[in-house]
């Protein structure tokens, strides 16, 4: 073969190779027609590196001036099951779709392996692959997301019935609740409605935290430390109908884990007697109607200590820790058949994102959870 023929053959092979690469790239571009970068710019000037942190990613039209819209960045799957997330090294990430209101809003929990305290860590979201149009939801979509010490996670996103799913997927404990036909919007999708008008009985409601057909409570003290948190809205006012001595956030079989004394608005524990966190108060006057607040407490069994946090900031400590499982949430006792005096100790009208972990979360973790989930959050920056 002449030198000229060899050059022509070589050029043809190179051209063919480039054409194949171009076709592959074009195919990938069409398979993943939309993507978005989510940078955790709000987690800056902190101390801790957050590991396996469940981040709330919210899709709404032009959220954070991102340029995203449901009409121009369409999902191929009607339930958004073509959505995928990747870390900075393009490793796939575990995620759970909490709530999807088509063409309006989408709430997703993504487990991020590492968030550095410099505001530069990011993940990528991709969707629009026609090959994933027929995807179905996995049986326990949140089991990989809620893995770092989480024992119980309630989203309260059920649309019917009186059972609440434990999103951890591990110890499948179901809870008895009546969220009512018109549960309010919460921090992420729906929220638990504990008002008297919601259940049709004319009596305030709470959540029974026990397995079906069992009288046991949910264990929390196996490791000697734990963290309990939730969002609440419309703290029950003092002197309200059926008003009792306490507003009960969580109660064990024998003790209150966290309560507010109605006569003084003091916050603390109860084990034989009331143990108040010095200087800590929670008054309905400080929580305007319709305002969501976050409450978290971390406990260590030995030496006994409980730290209280409001909206991600530590507000009080008591040298005390109740070592008792959780029996009820949001009321001295849940369910609609409890005696009136027990139904009089409701904490608030609405609850959302109730969580229990068998470890004490750090102050930076608690702060980041609040900042990520709060209304108007600037924790994440979205760029399409």
Determine, yes or no, domain membership for 62. Answer: yes
Residues 64 and 205 in one domain: no
Q: What are the two backbone dihedrals, phi and then psi, of residue 170, each rounded to the nearest 5 degrees?
A: -80, -90
pTM score, two decimals?
0.85
Residues 221 and 102 in one domain: no
d(CA 331, CA 209): 11
- Last residue within a domain, chosen from 121, 140, 159: 140
The answer, yes or no, to whether residue 13 has pLDDT greater than 50, is no
At 36 the three-state DSSP class reads strand
Residues 179 and 69 in one domain: no
Domain holding 133, by residue range, is 34-140
d(CA 351, CA 353): 7
Residues 65 and 191 in one domain: no
Residues 286 and 330 in one domain: yes
Q: What are the two backbone dihedrals, phi and then psi, of residue 261, each rounded to the nearest 5 degrees?
A: -75, 120
The answer, yes or no, to whether residue 328 has pLDDT greater than 70, is yes
- Last residue within a domain, chosen from 120, 140, 160: 140
Q: What is the pLDDT of residues 14-63, one digit of tens each?
A: 333 333 333 333 334 344 579 999 999 999 999 999 999 999 999 999 88
pLDDT of residue 30: 41
Mean pLDDT over each residue of the chain, to the nearest integer: 80
Residues 183 and 102 in one domain: no
Pick 240 or 261 by higher pLDDT. Answer: 261
- Residue 137's pLDDT band, with cuts at 50, 70 and 90, is confident
Determine, yes or no, domain membership for 5. Answer: no
Q: Which two tokens stand for residue 258?
A: 């966290």
Q: What string of H, E and C letters represents the secondary structure of 9-47?
A: HHHHHHHHHHHHHHHHHHHHHHHCCEEEEEECCCCECCC
pLDDT of residue 126: 95
Give the N- to C-terminal CA distance of the chain in Å, as an integer: 52
Determine, yes or no, domain membership for 9. Answer: no
Residues 250 and 342 in one domain: yes
CA nearest neighbour of 297 among 288, 308, 286 = 308
d(CA 129, CA 127): 6
- Residue 338's pLDDT band, with cuts at 50, 70 and 90, is low
pLDDT of residue 307: 94
CA nearest neighbour of 247 among 194, 199, 300, 301 = 194
Average pLDDT over residues 202-212: 62
Task: Describe the strand order of the beta sheet including 207-208 as a list of residue ranges.
Answer: 163-164, 175-176, 207-208, 328-329, 246-251, 256-261, 266-270, 274-281
Determine, yes or no, domain membership for 253. Answer: yes
Of the listed ranges 138-142, 273-277, 378-382, the one predicted with least confidence: 138-142
Determine, yes or no, domain membership for 371. Answer: no
At 199 the three-state DSSP class reads helix
- Residue 237's pLDDT band, with cuts at 50, 70 and 90, is low
d(CA 233, CA 258): 16
Determine, yes or no, domain membership for 95. Answer: yes
Residues 185 and 61 in one domain: no
DSSP 332-344: SS-SSSS-HHHHT
Residues 136 and 159 in one domain: no
pLDDT of residue 143: 83
Of the listed ranges 53-57, 334-338, 346-350, 369-373, the one predicted with least confidence: 334-338
Determine, yes or no, domain membership for 77. Answer: yes
d(CA 209, CA 126): 37
Q: What is the DSSP letter of 139?
A: S
Q: Are 105 and 94 in contact (CB under 8 A)?
A: no
Determine, yes or no, domain membership for 73. Answer: yes
Q: What are the two backbone dihedrals, phi and then psi, of residue 316, each rounded to the nearest 5 degrees?
A: -175, 160
Residues 77 and 182 in one domain: no
Q: Are 97 and 106 in contact (CB under 8 A)?
A: yes
d(CA 285, CA 361): 29
- Last residue within a domain, chosen from 140, 164, 197: 140
Residues, the chain: 384
Q: Where are the beta strands (DSSP E) in 262-319?
A: 266-270, 274-281, 292-300, 305-310, 313-318
Residues 194 and 261 in one domain: yes
How many CB atoms within 10 Å of residue 31?
A: 15
CATH number where 180 lies: 2.60.120
In the chain, the number of structural domains is 2
Q: What is the pLDDT of residues 156-169, one digit of tens each?
A: 887 766 677 889 87
Residues 158 and 240 in one domain: yes
């Amino acid at each position: 073969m002449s030198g000229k023929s060899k050059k022509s053959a070589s050029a043809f092979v190179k051209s063919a190779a480039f054409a194949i690469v171009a076709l592959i790239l074009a195919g990938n571009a069409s398979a993943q027609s939309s993507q978005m970068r989510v940078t955790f710019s709000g987690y800056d000037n902190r101390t801790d590196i957050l590991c396996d942190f469940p981040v709330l990613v919210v899709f709404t039209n032009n959220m954070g001036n991102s340029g995203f819209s449901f009409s121009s960045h369409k999902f191929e799957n009607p339930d958004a099951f073509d959505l995928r997330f990747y870390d900075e090294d393009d490793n796939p990430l575990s995620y759970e779709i909490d709530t999807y209101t088509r063409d309006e809003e989408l709430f997703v929990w993504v487990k991020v392996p590492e968030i550095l305290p410099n505001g530069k860590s990011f993940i990528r979201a991709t969707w629009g692959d026609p090959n994933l149009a027929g995807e179905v939801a996995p049986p326990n979509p949140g089991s990989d997301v809620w893995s770092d010490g989480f024992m119980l996670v309630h989203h309260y996103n059920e649309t019917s019935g009186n059972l609440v799913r434990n999103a951890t997927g591990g110890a499948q404990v179901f809870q008895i609740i009546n969220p009512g036909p018109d549960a309010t919007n919460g921090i992420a999708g729906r929220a638990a409605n504990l008002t008297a008008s919601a259940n049709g009985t004319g009596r305030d409601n709470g959540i029974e935290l026990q397995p079906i057909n069992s009288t046991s409570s949910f264990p929390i003290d196996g490791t000697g430390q734990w963290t309990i948190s939730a969002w609440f809205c419309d703290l029950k006012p003092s002197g309200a109908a059926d008003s009792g001595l306490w507003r009960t956030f969580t109660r064990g079989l024998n003790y209150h884990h966290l309560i507010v004394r109605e006569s003084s608005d003091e916050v603390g524990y109860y084990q034989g007697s009331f143990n108040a966190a010095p200087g800590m108060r929670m008054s309905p006057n400080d929580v305007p109607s319709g305002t969501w607040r976050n409450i978290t407490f971390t406990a260590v069994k030995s030496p006994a200590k409980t730290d209280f946090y409001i909206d991600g900031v530590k507000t009080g400590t008591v040298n005390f820790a109740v070592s008792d499982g959780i029996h009820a949430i949001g009321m001295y006792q849940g369910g609609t058949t409890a005696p009136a005096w027990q139904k009089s100790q409701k904490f608030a009208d609405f609850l959302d994102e109730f969580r229990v972990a068998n470890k004490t979360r750090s102050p930076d973790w608690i702060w980041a959870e609040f900042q990520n989930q709060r209304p108007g959050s600037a924790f994440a920056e979205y760029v399409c």
